[in-house]
Amino acid sequence: FVTANVRIESQNSGMSTKVAKVTVHAGRDRIDKVLAPPNPESESGFRDEKAIMEAAQKFRAENNEKGFQTLIYTMRDYLPQVSKARAAKLVRALVDMFLDIENTDSNLQVQVCKECIEWATHEKRTFLRQSLEARLVAVYHDTEKYSEALQLGGQLLKELKKMDDKNLLVEVQLLESKTYHQLGNLPRARAALTSARTTANSIYCPPLMQAALDLQSGILHAADEKDFKTAYSYFYEAFEGLDSIDAKEKALVALKYMLLSKIMLNTPEEVPQLLGGKLALKYGDMGDDVEAMRAVATAAHKRSLADFQSALHKYRDQLELDPVVKTHFATLYDKMLEQNLCRIIEPYSKVEISHIAQSIKLSSPQVEQKLSQMILDRKLAGVLDQNAGLLIIFDSVQEDKAYEAALGLIQNMGRVNK
């Protein structure tokens, strides 16, 4: 799209405002030329549609969200020239491409979706409006506007249940499940997912949607019941499905959660074997996600809290910014911290808290707080002497089985009839 390049270069090189305005008009003329009404007696309509998509791809490659927005608005005048089915397909494709632009302002995404929905409503194109509303629900979910996502999603579900578009119904039900999961409402998240899977079983479910359902099933099994064995099987199904359609970025997420399951199942030694498998081998060089999980698995295998913290710090974007991984690794951190504390205090009957803190490389208040929690949870038999800064460990009391047997015998004798 030559005019777009000229406009960007003229602005970046500091040329006059007058020149920039000329190029903007030239860009608009180019868009008008691309979107010229097709001749019904020729195939020019298809060629124009192809030109629109080429322009859209160029805007997306350049991250030119304003140019893309102008293209979406301008083409509306020409959509009546083509069939409703082709027009709907073109609008959906352009909106999807626009939402794929990296680092796009979320408010602009919402604005574009809403204006396209208003246009579809005005033109009485119900199926297109519903499809665009589903995209808007996804935008609300991705930008953490969960109340808006549930409100719009609820209205849309009522409509879709009365209609025959079950593919879109599955998509919205899955989004509802994801939203409830982010809000921590696991019962409703499970209910929405069950509805989505029930609907999906009654139709042909595309591989991408089936993989998304499997991925969400694994996430909920891990979050709700801590059933990482079942979660792993779902993640594996999702990974295989995504790999088969060459959706590598989404497959990488499924692989990441597979590795998470192995770590949480206390089998981190299986991670290298899994990564050396035929399917997973080609994902080893796709970013730092795999390396992050490998580092955590190594730390978990060594039971090294220092290595675990180092991995979290080094791969913060891959671990801390992923809500699924972050939640479970917080649990893993507590578990590893307890194991390290028990290992340090095991030889002692009395030990200074400062010595424990120095050994584990944490502050004394942090160690004291964790020890208090372990004592209250009955994971540690002891008491804290805060004045002396000591932890006093009690000897573990062995249960006297003879005493229990004697009590049982006396109870049985009491039931004997005289």
Find the mean pLDDT for residues 137-156: 94
First-to-last C-alpha distance (Å) of the chain:
104
* Both structure tokens of 352: 């200074």
Encode pLDDT of 43-89 as tens digits. Answer: 434 447 788 888 888 888 888 888 888 888 888 777 877 888 888 89
Identify which of 331, 317, 261 has the alpha carbon closest to the alpha carbon of residue 289: 317
Strand partners, 393: 382
194-245 confidence digits (pLDDT tens): 999 999 999 998 999 999 999 999 999 998 778 999 999 999 999 999 999 9
Q: How confident is the model at residue 377 (pLDDT cuts 50, 70, 90)?
A: confident
| pLDDT reported for residue 148 | 95
Q: Lowest mean pLDDT: which of 134-148, 260-274, 331-345? A: 331-345
The answer to whether residue 28 scores a pLDDT higher than 80 is no
Q: Greater confidence, 218 or 332?
A: 218
Confidence of residue 418 (pLDDT cuts 50, 70, 90): low
pLDDT above 90 covers a percentage of the chain that reads 39
pLDDT (mean) for 151-158: 94
Give the pLDDT band of residue 387 (cuts 50, 70, 90): confident
> 398 pLDDT band (50/70/90 cuts)?
low
How far apart CA 219 and CA 177 sit, in angstroms, is: 11
Nearest to 256 by CA among 305, 307, 326, 154: 326
CB 391 within 8 A of CB 336: no
Q: What's the average model confidence in pLDDT over 379-403? A: 81
Cα 111 to Cα 120: distance, rounded to the nearest angstrom = 14
pLDDT of residue 16: 39
Give residue 385's pLDDT: 87
pLDDT at position 4 is 42
The pLDDT of residue 95: 92
Residue 315 has pLDDT above 50, yes or no: yes
Residue 101 sits at the vertex; the CA angle it makes with 95 and 105, to the nearest 5 degrees, is 90
Per the CB < 8 A criterion, the answer to whether 122 and 82 are in contact is: no
pTM exceeds 0.85: no
Q: Provide mean pLDDT across the span 299-313.
A: 87
pLDDT at residue 30, rounded to an integer: 47
- Residue 128's pLDDT is 92
Q: How confident is the model at residue 399 (pLDDT cuts 50, 70, 90)?
A: low
Say if residues 364 and 357 touch (Cβ distance below 8 Å). Answer: yes
Using a pLDDT cut of 70, give the percent of the chain over it: 87
The 3-state DSSP class for residue 103 equals coil
How do strand 390-393 and strand 382-385 relate by DSSP bridges?
Answer: antiparallel
Give the Cα-Cα-Cα angle 345, 347, 351 (nearest 5 degrees): 50
What pLDDT was estimated at residue 38? 44
- Whole-number average pLDDT of the chain: 83
Weakest mean pLDDT among 1-15, 196-210, 292-306, 332-346: 1-15
Determine the Cα–Cα distance for residues 356 and 266; give it in Å rounded to an integer. 25
User: Is pLDDT of 188 > 80?
Assistant: yes
The answer to whether the beta carbons of residues 136 and 113 sit under 8 Å apart is: yes
Mean pLDDT, rounded, for 113-140 = 93
